[in-house]
């Protein structure tokens, strides 16, 4: 449980130009006449915000970070955001970090200036692959030259930028590694997130892989290339501070830290989740249910529950071990005074996956990269 009065807020915008073949996020393609939909959605977001303020938030809470993600927030004209942001910023302070995800293909000057005027401090852009052919195969309407143009437009206004990449798409990974590494070194964003492609989920790409229409690089080879990328980024001055996240010194994501440290956050919007003093919830994944919710009771949740002490401990370990530095023993003791922390540390650090050193429990260097096996082990022993 987090007893201090700071909180992070996530706002989910579930609209995209089209659906990428690997995507399992809650997002819906827009059409020519989506304006009514945007208007209805932002009206529902306003209602949910009022619900959260009424039931969870006293004005004494201070906002440590705000994150607008999706979906593709930049496909919605900025005028729809204004009333919502005014309410958020009236209820709270301006947060130290305010991030918005944008798509290089859809971001307009008006959108970027609007964000800037409302105190946005950080932009996150999806590049995924520097190869136009690959982007076309996965139905992502974007090109490298468009990405670079958008990046320089964003750079003129924002001094903190994240670039997302995916390792393991259907392409030459050697080429992905060389081109992406060169591009990051040249553009020098403050932050870079690199995800290894997951195809186990029900996505068009996952189905194509299962029925043999697309053959992907093996997981072992993808991990090898990911490891090379770690070194490439390290040489360019980036530190891998979390399994999938790299930053220049002092530029780690404040918002994502709140997830990894299981601090309080609230999620607003269809499919968004939150964790608030042990109460965990996930909103409905159905857009029509969300648009029709009255936000008077708990019917807009897909899931809600007050975590037991064991669940809180399990989540704390799973999330904290994603961080390179791991989990600080004193914090573990302070948060879970009733747990047999010492015994647990002995068991975990006695395994081949983890070490305990300088007061921190963390994954060792090998299993920080090959972490699937380490988390399966953790699932078995906890």
| Interface ranges with ligand SF4 (CB under 6 A) | 16, 19-20, 23, 25, 27, 70-72, 103
Residue 323: DSSP 8-state: B
**Is the Cβ of residue 103 or residue 264 nearer to ligand SF4 in the bound state?**
103
**Is the Cβ of residue 24 or residue 175 nearer to ligand SF4 in the bound state?**
24
**Is the Cβ of residue 70 or residue 170 nearer to ligand SF4 in the bound state?**
70
**Is the Cβ of residue 197 or residue 361 nearer to ligand SF4 in the bound state?**
197
Nearest to 209 by CA among 138, 307, 259, 278: 138
* 122-128 and 327-328 beta bridge pairing: unpaired
Number of neighbours of residue 50 by Cβ within 10 angstroms: 13
Which pair of structure tokens corresponds to residue 164?
């997302």
Nearest approach in angstroms of CB 20 to ligand SF4 is 3
* 279-283 and 6-13 beta bridge pairing: unpaired
Nearest approach in angstroms of CB 252 to ligand SF4 is 23
**Is the Cβ of residue 128 or residue 312 nearer to ligand SF4 in the bound state?**
128
**Is the Cβ of residue 21 or residue 374 nearer to ligand SF4 in the bound state?**
21
Number of neighbours of residue 138 by Cβ within 10 angstroms: 22
Number of neighbours of residue 194 by Cβ within 10 angstroms: 21
Nearest approach in angstroms of CB 18 to ligand SF4 is 7
- Cβ burial, residue 74 (10 Å; 0-12/13-18/19+): buried
Nearest approach in angstroms of CB 191 to ligand SF4 is 17
**Is the Cβ of residue 63 or residue 169 nearer to ligand SF4 in the bound state?**
169
Number of neighbours of residue 376 by Cβ within 10 angstroms: 10
- C-alpha distances in angstroms, 58 versus 44, 91, 166? 21, 9, 39
**Is the Cβ of residue 165 or residue 354 nearer to ligand SF4 in the bound state?**
165
| C-alpha to C-alpha distance for 184 and 73, rounded to whole angstroms | 23
Q: Which residue has the tokens 């003093």?
A: 277
Nearest approach in angstroms of CB 259 to ligand SF4 is 18
Nearest approach in angstroms of CB 204 to ligand SF4 is 11
Nearest approach in angstroms of CB 72 to ligand SF4 is 5
DSSP for 7-67?
Answer: EEEEEEE-EESS--TT--SS-EE--TT-HHHHHHHHHHHHHHHHHHHHHT--TT-EEEEEE
**Is the Cβ of residue 18 or residue 351 nearer to ligand SF4 in the bound state?**
18
Nearest approach in angstroms of CB 229 to ligand SF4 is 20
| C-alpha to C-alpha distance for 274 and 2, rounded to whole angstroms | 13
Q: Are 273 and 280 in contact (CB under 8 A)?
A: yes
Nearest approach in angstroms of CB 26 to ligand SF4 is 8
Q: Which residue has the tokens 């700071």?
A: 6
């Amino acid at each position: 449980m987090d007893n201090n009065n700071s909180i992070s807020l996530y706002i989910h915008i579930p609209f995209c130009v089209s659906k990428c073949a690997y995507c399992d996020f809650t997002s819906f393609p827009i059409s020519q006449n989506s304006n009514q939909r945007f208007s209805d959605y932002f009206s529902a977001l306003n209602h949910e915000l009022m619900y959260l303020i009424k039931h969870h938030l006293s004005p004494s809470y201070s906002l440590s970070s705000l994150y607008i993600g999706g979906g593709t927030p930049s496909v919605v004209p900025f005028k729809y955001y204004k009333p919502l942001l005014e309410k958020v910023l009236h209820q709270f302070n301006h947060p130290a970090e305010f991030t918005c995800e944008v798509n290089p293909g859809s971001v307009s000057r008006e959108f970027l200036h609007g964000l800037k005027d409302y105190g946005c401090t950080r932009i996150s852009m999806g590049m995924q692959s520097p190869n136009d052919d690959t982007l076309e195969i996965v139905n992502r309407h974007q090109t490298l030259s468009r990405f670079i143009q958008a990046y320089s437009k964003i750079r003129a206004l924002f001094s903190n930028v994240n670039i997302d990449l995916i390792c393991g798409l259907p392409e030459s990974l050697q080429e992905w590694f060389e081109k992406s590494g060169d591009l990051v070194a040249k553009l020098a964003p403050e932050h870079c997130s690199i995800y290894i492609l997951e195809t186990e989920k029900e996505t068009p790409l996952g189905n194509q892989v299962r029925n043999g229409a697309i053959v992907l690089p093996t997981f072992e080879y993808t991990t090898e290339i990911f490891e090379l990328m770690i070194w490439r980024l390290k040489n360019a001055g980036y530190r891998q501070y979390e399994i999938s996240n790299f930053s220049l010194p002092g530029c780690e994501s404040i918002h994502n830290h709140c997830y990894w440290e299981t601090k309080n956050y609230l999620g607003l919007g269809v499919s968004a989740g939150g964790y608030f003093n042990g109460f965990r919830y996930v909103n409905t994944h159905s857009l029509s249910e969300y648009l029709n919710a009255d936000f008077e009771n708990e019917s807009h949740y897909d899931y809600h529950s007050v975590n037991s002490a064991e669940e809180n401990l399990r989540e704390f370990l799973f999330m904290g071990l994603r961080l390179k530095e791991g989990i600080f023993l004193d914090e573990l003791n302070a948060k879970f005074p009733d747990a047999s922390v010492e015994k647990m540390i002995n068991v975990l650090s006695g395994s081949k996956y983890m070490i305990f050193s300088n007061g921190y429990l963390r994954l060792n260097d090998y299993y920080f990269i090959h972490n699937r096996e380490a988390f399966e082990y953790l699932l078995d022993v906890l």
